Chains A and B, each alone.
Chain A
């Protein structure tokens, strides 16, 4: 059920100081089920990543040169994980449609490998979940995936992961969220 991503270019709006968010949200409303949104901006829109994650989209961002960015927002497939299952779910949270021929970031397109390690942070008081994730990531080898079960979206952790160069795929479960985290691949240009 994959269709071409819907492309939205907000670079002119940003250069003229206009708030692009209403336009972006309108575009999200127009998306067909399973369709991705390809967004062209003048900076890496980190706050938008959280807004879109909240709406069930994972993202892949790449720099286009001259300070511009291309971000692909891919809807998470609804492959129901077993809520409350403490055992690691074997498949990565990657029910997402493959982006079409959009010149997307090939490095992050392919399905991720099964998690090398699972952390169950449910029932821990903030900020312990964040501390445990960042500690666990330090011992993770390149390419390995850390799976995390949390009671809620880790609001202070997500931007920190972004800063430290990790890619995150987040999925809402009935009993909180499941995150898959791994170090971003450097796309050869």
Chain B
């Protein structure tokens, strides 16, 4: 084990996350969940939460424990807490799955205890993890740009899980809340839960991590200037405004509706966030253009594909808002964000993070004392590349068939994306577990 700041449990988080990712895609491929089942069907809830909690949240929390020390120049801390937090999150997720399945009936247990219980366990794990991640951020103010994104994202993570717990109570134990509040929660709370989760927690984190990692590994300037600042202010501020307006709507007195001013605020928030994300995409294009390392490695190349998915998702979201497509496009739109942008970016960056950490652990202490292999000697990009192409192609075609209403074709695409994910998982496994490659004669003097 290398003696420097490699956070313990990070790889365990990645492994656990990957299992959830595969199971969720298998549910879709087998026709148990959306699009074969309705969007609000129990098995769809299972698949969605396996993706959002089991895959993306666990993956990001594991990565942040390693990543925040790098952007705040501190050492990773809280190893013991992180181990227990992962156990709490995954056991909580299993309980939630049991609760969702029970919503559909046909099982000999009730949803009522399992959903809130599972949700509470997930919250306990998430709170523990966010505390150990947020402490170094808090200590190193004023924050660099990527850390500002992460700090805002952590706040949205709390909003997301707390709302999720309220929703779990509304669905599983409606008796605990006033009847009109239950209806209000389900109608207005669910979109807010999605906004805070996909927009606030996942997308803001991915934006911040993208800024730092892609600048580091393509040798582009890290200081993004006014464009980066405004991309942060508008996206995080706009989402916060929309979230506050949403909370006001939910908390409005029974029978009364929130006033038109609240609706205007909410729309202004959405618009600002859309402009912020658009500025980010412009800045990312600039970052790629300014990079000093012309030859892109696999992670840089496919991160660009994920950014294209973010741009497409944003354009479709705006189009849906203009066309008044409320929930009609919700499924395919969510798919573009969760599978194209977030999972696509995650898979591509894992292909850099896993070999980097593996190399540090294996060879860090041998550096300078004899020849060691290079990080790139641990990977086989030509072998992995076709699977990344297949993954993004399957998700792209899948989304198109989803918007066209061809659910059978969409499901077929999910079989392909599952196969590609499993193959990428196998590549990551090989990076971790293959015998060490021969040592490079010496490091190229760049």
Per the bound structure, the CA–CA distance linking A3 and B325 in Å amounts to: 69
Q: A127-B360, A131-B367 given as contacts; is B69 within 8 A of A155 (CB)?
A: yes
User: Which residues from 1 to 37 on chain B have a C-beta closer than 8 Å to any C-beta of chain A?
Assistant: 2-6
Min C-beta distance of B358 to chain A, whole Å: 12
Per the bound structure, the CA–CA distance linking A152 and B73 in Å amounts to: 10
Contact assessment for A156 and B140 in the assembled complex, using a CB-CB cutoff below 8 Å? no
Min C-beta distance of A168 to chain B, whole Å: 13
User: Which residues from 213 to 239 on chain B have a C-beta closer than 8 Å to any C-beta of chain A?
Assistant: 216-217, 219, 222
Q: Is A124 an interface residue (CB 8 A)?
A: yes
Min C-beta distance of B357 to chain A, whole Å: 10
User: Which residues from 34 to 77 on chain A have a C-beta closer than 8 Å to any C-beta of chain B?
Assistant: 46-47, 50-51, 53-54
Query: Quick one: which of A21, A128, A137, A160 contacts B443, CB cutoff 8 A?
Result: A128
User: A115-136, CB under 8 A of B: which get 1 and which 0?
Assistant: 0000000011111101110111
Query: Quick one: which of B6, B73, B216, B365 contacts A153, CB cutoff 8 A?
Result: B73
Q: Output the residue of B6, B217, B368, B446 with the most chain A CB within 10 A.
A: B368
Q: Is A110 an interface residue (CB 8 A)?
A: no
Query: Quick one: which of A25, A136, A158 contacts B139, CB cutoff 8 A?
Result: A25
Give how many A-B residue pairs fall within 8 Å (CB-CB): 85
Residue of A nearest to B70 (CB): A155
Residue of A nearest to B443 (CB): A131
Per the bound structure, the CA–CA distance linking A157 and B69 in Å amounts to: 13
Per the bound structure, the CA–CA distance linking A131 and B360 in Å amounts to: 11
Residue of A nearest to B73 (CB): A54
Contact assessment for A53 and B367 in the assembled complex, using a CB-CB cutoff below 8 Å? no
Contact assessment for B3 and A160 in the assembled complex, using a CB-CB cutoff below 8 Å? yes
Per the bound structure, the CA–CA distance linking A126 and B357 in Å amounts to: 12
Q: A156-B360, A160-B4 given as contacts; is B73 within 8 A of A51 (CB)?
A: yes
- Residues on B with C-beta less than 8 A from A132 are 443, 445
Contact assessment for B73 and A126 in the assembled complex, using a CB-CB cutoff below 8 Å? no
Residue of A nearest to B6 (CB): A156
- Residues on B with C-beta less than 8 A from A131 are 367-368, 372, 443
Per the bound structure, the CA–CA distance linking A160 and B364 in Å amounts to: 8
- Residues on A with C-beta less than 8 A from B360 are 127, 156
User: A2-22, CB under 8 A of B: which get 1 and which 0?
Assistant: 000000000000000000010
Contact assessment for A155 and B3 in the assembled complex, using a CB-CB cutoff below 8 Å? no
Contact assessment for A50 and B443 in the assembled complex, using a CB-CB cutoff below 8 Å? no
Q: Is A163 an interface residue (CB 8 A)?
A: yes
A contact patch SS: helix
Query: Quick one: which of A46, A124, A127 contacts B359, CB cutoff 8 A?
Result: A127
Q: Is A142 an interface residue (CB 8 A)?
A: no
- Residues on A with C-beta less than 8 A from B75 are 46-47, 50, 159
Contact assessment for A125 and B216 in the assembled complex, using a CB-CB cutoff below 8 Å? yes
Per the bound structure, the CA–CA distance linking A155 and B6 in Å amounts to: 10
Tally of contact residues, A, Cβ under 8 A: 32
Contact assessment for A50 and B73 in the assembled complex, using a CB-CB cutoff below 8 Å? yes
Min C-beta distance of B322 to chain A, whole Å: 43
User: Which residues from 55 to 96 on chain B have a C-beta closer than 8 Å to any C-beta of chain A?
Assistant: 69-70, 72-75, 77
Query: Quick one: which of A21, A54, A156 contacts B4, CB cutoff 8 A?
Result: A156
| Size category of the binding interface on chain B | 35 or more
Q: Output the residue of A21, A135, A137, A153 with the most chain B CB within 10 A.
A: A135
Residue of B nearest to A132 (CB): B443
Q: Is B369 an interface residue (CB 8 A)?
A: yes
Per the bound structure, the CA–CA distance linking A124 and B356 in Å amounts to: 15
Q: Is B292 an interface residue (CB 8 A)?
A: yes
Contact assessment for A123 and B367 in the assembled complex, using a CB-CB cutoff below 8 Å? no
Min C-beta distance of A117 to chain B, whole Å: 14
- Residues on B with C-beta less than 8 A from A152 are 216, 222
Contact assessment for B369 and A127 in the assembled complex, using a CB-CB cutoff below 8 Å? no
Contact assessment for B3 and A127 in the assembled complex, using a CB-CB cutoff below 8 Å? no
User: A148-182, CB under 8 A of B: which get 1 and which 0?
Assistant: 00011101111110010000000000000000000
Contact assessment for B367 and A163 in the assembled complex, using a CB-CB cutoff below 8 Å? no
Per the bound structure, the CA–CA distance linking A135 and B368 in Å amounts to: 4
- Residues on B with C-beta less than 8 A from A126 are 216-217, 356
- Residues on B with C-beta less than 8 A from A124 are 219, 446
Residue of B nearest to A25 (CB): B139
- Residues on A with C-beta less than 8 A from B6 are 156
Query: Quick one: which of B5, B73, B217, B444 contacts A53, CB cutoff 8 A?
Result: B73
Per the bound structure, the CA–CA distance linking A156 and B293 in Å amounts to: 22
Min C-beta distance of A179 to chain B, whole Å: 13
Can you list 23 A-B contacts (CB < 8 A)?
A25-B139, A47-B74, A47-B77, A51-B73, A51-B74, A54-B74, A123-B219, A125-B219, A125-B446, A126-B217, A127-B356, A127-B375, A135-B367, A135-B442, A136-B368, A138-B369, A151-B219, A151-B222, A153-B73, A155-B5, A155-B73, A156-B364, A160-B2
Those 10 A-B pairs whose CB atoms lie nearest each other, nearest first: A134-B368, A47-B75, A134-B367, A159-B4, A54-B73, A124-B446, A138-B368, A156-B4, A135-B368, A131-B443
Seen from chain A, the residues whose Cβ lies within 8 Å of a Cβ on chain B are 21, 25, 46-47, 50-51, 53-54, 123-128, 130-132, 134-138, 151-153, 155-160, 163
Q: What 15 additional pairs, Cβ within 8 angstroms, besides A50-B73, A123-B219? A: A21-B139, A47-B75, A50-B75, A54-B72, A125-B216, A125-B219, A128-B446, A131-B372, A135-B368, A136-B368, A151-B222, A156-B4, A156-B6, A160-B4, A160-B367
